[in-house]
Amino acid sequence: MQNLVFPWAMFMGVAALGCGGGGYDATSRPPMLVRGPSLVAESAPAMADGLEEVGAVPAMDDERAETWSASRALAKEAPPPPAGSAAGSSGGGGAATGAKVSQAVEARAPLLVYTARMLMAAFDMAASLNRVEAMAVELGGFMSKRTDLEITVRVPAAAFDTAVRRLEAMGDVLKRDVKVEDVTEEFLDLEVRLRNARAVRDRVEKLLDKASNVEESLLLEKELGRVSGDIERLEGRLKVMRDKASFSTITVLFQSRPKETIDPGGARLPIPWLHALGLSRLLNL
């Protein structure tokens, strides 16, 4: 009987020791912390050193001690987190959303067309017309049209005001009409239409190269001719608009000054015999 009790007691003792070791192992293990990689890398070496200093690290066997040492070495060798990584991970989306996007927009100066029409009084028509033409050439312009009483000149847009002031100084201005037209929007619209028409022409030319029969070739050639005509008209309108904006148009119409007339019958000469002859007869002698 004693022989049976002793082995049984030994067995129960070993089992109790095993259970106690397992419980100690579970409770002595460092708590699991839910942290990001950067915080773990920063705090792991300090935690390990602090535990050793206060003696909180439990006694371990050789295998566990080796694992603990390797973990400490990896924690110490881990690179420090980049500056602002934590803030970037949490608020980076908001910063990107709130960032202002700057876009450089090419500023186009307004395209203005200046025109002027003036009515002036003059004694000598030919001389006045010559003076207007000479003034236009001096300012870098040219004569566009001329008749016996009217002249049209073109001057650079930058010299338009100077030309008008010089004309006003030449004589009496009976009537003046000055206009400024902003054609910027129309000009940009024509440019866009021209760019689209050229793109269509390029596509039609590529399709024409790939045409498989005569019917397709004829249709594509007809379309190509239509698009080419549109391109020529748009280019012509743009050219005219640029020319009008570059050189202002000034038209001057001259009107003869009325000559003062003397009524011969109303004038009385101081000498009686001359008065008897009459002023008209004396003027025709």
**Residue 266: per-residue pLDDT:** 56
Q: Across 28-32, 239-243, 259-263, which has the greatest mean pLDDT?
A: 239-243
Residue 93 has pLDDT above 60, yes or no: no
Beta-carbon contacts of 215 under 8 Å, excluding residues fewer than 6 positions away, are none
Q: What is the DSSP string of 51-112?
A: HHHHT-SPP--HHHHHHHHHHHHHHHHSPPPPTTHHHHHHHHHHHHHHPPPP---------E
Q: How far is CA 37 from the centre of its chain?
A: 45
Kindly calculate the radius of gyration of the chain based on its CA atoms and give it in whole angstroms: 52
Which has the higher per-residue pLDDT, 109 or 106? 109
| Across 18-27, 55-64, 95-104, 187-196, least confident range | 95-104
Q: How large is the average pLDDT for residues 162-178?
A: 94
Q: How large is the average pLDDT for residues 19-25?
A: 45
3-state secondary structure of 21: helix
Helices and strands, counts by H and E, the chain: 10, 5
Torsion, Cα of 122, 128, 131, 137 (10° steps):
110
Q: Give, to the nearest 10 degrees, the angle between helix 184-209 and helix 214-246.
A: 160
Q: How large is the average pLDDT for residues 263-285?
A: 64
| Across 9-18, 25-34, 176-185, least confident range | 25-34
Per the DSSP assignment, residues forming a β-bridge with 120 are 173, 254
Q: Are 30 and 47 in contact (CB under 8 A)?
A: yes
278 pLDDT band, cuts 50/70/90, is: low
**Residue 226: per-residue pLDDT:** 95
**Residue 16: per-residue pLDDT:** 46
Q: Are 150 and 77 in contact (CB under 8 A)?
A: no
Q: List the chain domain ranges.
A: 2-77, 112-183+247-256, 185-243
Residue 146 has pLDDT above 80, yes or no: yes
**Residue 256: per-residue pLDDT:** 85
A 10 A CB-CB count for 13 gives: 10
